[in-house]
Amino acid sequence: MRLGAILVGMAMLLGGPASATGDFGRAMQAIRDGNPGEAVTEFTRLAQNGDPEAQINLAVLLARGVGTPQNEEAAFYWAWRARLGLENRKAPDVVDYLERRLDAKTRNRVADRLATDLDKLADNGDGNAFLGIAIALFDVREPAKPKDALVSAIAATALNVPNASLVRDAIARDLPEKERLDAQRRAGIRFAQWCETAPSMATQGFCGATTATN
């Protein structure tokens, strides 16, 4: 009975903006028309391009095995991408449901995939991705990688990403001084690299004082 209730709840999550148009609207129409495979194809493309509504819809379809073979590990990944991207309000329920069904080894694979993919986004200029990396390595992984997570949280804080300083301080709280200082040193190097390579950063005012951390 409990599992049935959860799946019904997940089914109700499937959706998006009431006025959805364009590619997302076509994907939703495919669901309504009984063509979930077409919806999976469209949601996948949109999810890979960073659309959080597409990401959570794809996660639900993968978790339920509708329009595509059931794949709870991939569903967990896309649910976390939605949760990390724009704090999608629907994502936590799907994340929590799947987390209870996956062992630590599987969750760690997802955490490492998240960290890798978000690092690529950071390299392309998405400073918010640094906070996602920190959360993936600290909250999704078991055991966590707090020193690596702290490096990314420090970079996110330097970029004034909302709530990044809270995550940074929570991670650093129980780290020994040597590990904390080493993470700060590594974060300074990573930040300087990011300023050199990420697109359009020179105009955003974040990178003018990077030499002070070297």
- Tell whether the model's pLDDT for residue 170 goes beyond 60: yes
pLDDT of residue 9: 46
Q: For residue 49, what pLDDT band results from cuts at 50, 70 and 90?
A: very high
Predicted local distance difference test score (pLDDT) of residue 182: 98
pLDDT higher for 69 or 53? 69
Determine the average pLDDT of the residues in 98-104: 95
Largest Cα–Cα distance of the chain, in whole Å?
60
**Among candidates 146, 84, 130, which has minimal Cα distance to 94?**
84
Give the three-class secondary structure for 111.
helix
pLDDT digits (tens, 9 = 90+) for 115-125: 999 999 999 88
pLDDT at site 21: 54
Model confidence at 211, pLDDT cuts 50, 70, 90, reads very low
- Cα–Cα dist 210/16, whole Å: 41
Both structure tokens of 38: 């077409």
Task: Say if residues 127 and 161 touch (Cβ distance below 8 Å).
Answer: yes
DSSP codes of every residue in 136-161 = IIIIISSS--HHHHHHHHHHHHHTT-
**Reported confidence tier of residue 86, pLDDT bands at 50, 70, 90:** low
- Name the band, by pLDDT with cuts 50, 70 and 90, for residue 89: low
**Mean pLDDT, residues 62-82 taken together:** 96
- On the question of pLDDT at 7 being above 90, the answer is no
The whole-number average pLDDT for the span 150-167 is: 95
CB-CB contact of 138 with 156 (8 Å)? no
Check residue 122 and give its pLDDT. Answer: 92
Range of weakest confidence among 5-14, 124-133, 188-197: 5-14
Sorted by sequence, the CB contacts under 8 Å of residue 108 that are 6+ apart come out as 140, 141, 142
Does pLDDT of 20 surpass 60? no
> What's the pLDDT at 2?
37
Does residue 77 have a pLDDT over 60? yes
Q: Say how many C-beta atoms besides its own lie within 10 A of residue 32's C-beta.
A: 8
Residue type for position 130: F
CA pair distance 74, 80, nearest whole angstrom: 10
Give dist(CA 214, CA 206) in Å, integer. Answer: 15
